[in-house]
Structure 1
Amino acid sequence: MAKILIVEDDLLLHKMYRKKFEVAGFVVDAAYDGEEAIGKMKTFAPDIVLLDVMMPKLNGIQVLEKAQADSTLRHIPVIVLTNLGGAIDAQTALKKGAVSYMVKSDFTPSEVVAKVQEFLSTRKVG
């Protein structure tokens, strides 16, 4: 089974995404701020990370920067899932190491799960 780390500070959204991924067969762990995300990336060793941008302590861009600077983390693919829909935000996230950038309002939770499954299917994970 593939392991996903959901990094989302909104508890309601986190619970919704967690449920969808668990039903789809994922092993799920959670982080609620950027600092916790870095720690969980090290201890949980996810196959993929779903990362919000606007969070306390470290924002999603800072998490991407720290992950890319750490040789033990930079191989973990990160999909940014955020409310920020600007092209500059997407370009920044992709430049900092995200493999994809999704705006929450553009995708249902089921579509997010499908996108993650599609990405992982090309990487032989799980």
Structure 2
Amino acid sequence: MADKEKILIIEDDFFIRELYERQFTKEGYIVLVAEDGPTGLVMASQELPQLILLDIMLPKLNGLDLLRTLKSKDETKGIPVILLTNLGQESVIKEGFELGAESYLIKSAYTPSQIIEEIKNFLENRG
């Protein structure tokens, strides 16, 4: 990785946020974190990360509404978003993809190290 890529993690659970922030930093990424939807929106617009990891169940502005807003703004619509959530209902997954998510990872279906690998592979293989 020539330049350090910037990842924005929008997650309200402190322990999950801390875990992924620490792991991605260890992998050499610049990691930004937000604990709610409005803060995540501001950070995405100001920092323009290479990837956003987005939870759905967020305070103040849920992840699907935030995704809709991100994809409607010129400055953020090109940022890839991966939904990282515990919501596994087919209708929610479908809505996430329709709104423009690149991928949908259910937290409980993966170990943290598997999620880190998925994200690394995504960043390395995007074209």
TM-score, L = length of structure 1: 0.95
Q: How far, CA to CA, are the matches of 1:51 and 1:19 in structure 2?
A: 17
Q: Which residue, 105, 109, 115 being the options, matches 1:102?
A: 105
- In 2, the alpha carbon distance for the partners of 1:86 and 1:48 equals 24
Aligned pairs (5 A) from 1:70-85: 70-85=73-88
Percent identical pairs in the alignment equals 37
Distance 2:79 2:122 in 1: 12
Aligned length: 124
Q: TM-score, normalised by structure 2?
A: 0.94
Confirm whether residue 34 of structure 1 aligns to residue 23 of structure 2. no
Match of 1:66 in 2: 69
**Aligned to 1:120, which of 114, 120, 123?**
123
Correspondence for 2:56 = 53
Q: How does 1:9-20 map onto structure 2 within 5 Å?
A: 9-20=12-23
Deviation per CA, 1:62-116: give whole Å up to 9, x if none. 0111011101100000000001011111111010110000100011111111111
Name the CA distance, whole Å, in 1 between partners of 2:120 and 2:113. 11
Partner in structure 2 of residue 21 of structure 1: 24
Q: Distance in 1 between matches of 2:86 and 2:76?
A: 25
| Structure 2 CA distance for aligned equivalents of residues 119 and 74 of structure 1 | 18
The answer for unaligned runs of 5 or more in structure 1 is none
Aligned equivalents of 1:120, 1:91: Cα separation in 2? 23
d(CA) in 2 for partners of 1:72, 1:51 = 17
Q: Distance in 1 between matches of 2:48 and 2:112?
A: 23
For 1:91 and 1:25, locate their aligned partners in 2 and report how far apart those are by CA, in whole Å.
32
Query: 2-side partners of 1:41 and 1:101: how far apart?
Result: 19
1:123 deviates by 2.7
